[in-house]
Every structure is written in structure tokens, then in C-alpha cells.
Amino acid sequence: TSVETFYDQVGGEETFRRIVARFYAEVAEDELLRPLYPEEDLGPAEERLRLFLMQYWGGPHTYSDSRGHPRLRMRHAPFKIGPAERDAWLRCMRIAVDEAGLEPRHREQLWEYLEMAAQSMVNSWF
């Protein structure tokens, strides 16, 4: 008997695509966050975050197949992420998650994880 993952319960790839696209639309307009992204085109970064989140929540392992072990804290080390950057990231993500139309229990579970994950990426005191 197979157990439906969180990924399946929230609607699979389509749902993650919607959330991450909305998130990056917000990042593109954010004065603090936009300059952190090294590439002109945010498309590739959008794809990496989408594939990572899909994998994390029980979807296909495409992220690790192409990027290897996530080691997210290490991959964020080149960027200054202080409390202000964390809060800006969460502000963008909040909009994306709120607009995704998830059931409250799914929204809360996802949000709890994202807050924890964003905090764990902080690598600067200012």
C-alpha cells in the first residue's frame, strides 16, 4: 500500500510551479534580494528552488540528480544573508504560499518548514 506524500496531497508539480513562480516574481521587484542573485535571468534559480522543494516534500528526485546533495547552507555561503534578507525572503514566500490556495493544514506545515529553513540560512548578524 502506497502512502500519498505531501507533494501529492497539495497537487504535485503544478502547485510547486505556481508557488515558486509567484515567489520569484516578488524577488524580481525586491530591492534587497534582487541584487543577491548573480544571474540576469531568474529562470534557472526558479527551477532549482522548485525542484528542491518538490524533492523535499516527496516528489521526484530531479534536484539531486542534477545538483547532487543539496547542502543548502554551504550553497548560500557566498551571499550575505542577515535578518533583513531572511525577512525579505519570507515576505516574498508568504505571498506565494498564501496565494496558492492550499488547505490550512498544508499551508501551515509548509510555512513552518520555510520559516525554519530561512532561519537556518542566516549567515550574517547584520
The three three-digit cell numbers of residue 45, written as one number = 534559480
Task: Give the nearer residue to ligand HEM in terms of CB position, either 25 or 117.
Answer: 117
DSSP calls for 40-104? S--HHHHHHHHHHHHHHTTS--HHHHHH-S--HHHHHTTS---HHHHHHHHHHHHHHHHTTT--H
Task: Give the nearer residue to ligand HEM in terms of CB position, either 11 or 91.
Answer: 91
Specify whether the CB–CB gap between 78 and 39 falls below 8 A.
no
Crossing angle (nearest 10°) for helices 83-98 and 13-27: 130
Distance in Å, CB of 1 to ligand HEM, minimum: 30
The three three-digit cell numbers of residue 81, written as one number = 544573508
Distance in Å, CB of 34 to ligand HEM, minimum: 10
For residues 14 and 2, give the distance between their C-alpha atoms in angstroms, rounded to a whole number.
21
Distance in Å, CB of 107 to ligand HEM, minimum: 15
Distance in Å, CB of 2 to ligand HEM, minimum: 26
Which residues are near ligand HEM by CB under 6 A? Answer: 33, 36-37, 45, 48-49, 52, 67, 72, 75-76, 79, 81, 85-86, 89, 117-118, 121
Task: Give the nearer residue to ligand HEM in terms of CB position, either 2 or 33.
Answer: 33
Task: Give the nearer residue to ligand HEM in terms of CB position, either 1 or 107.
Answer: 107
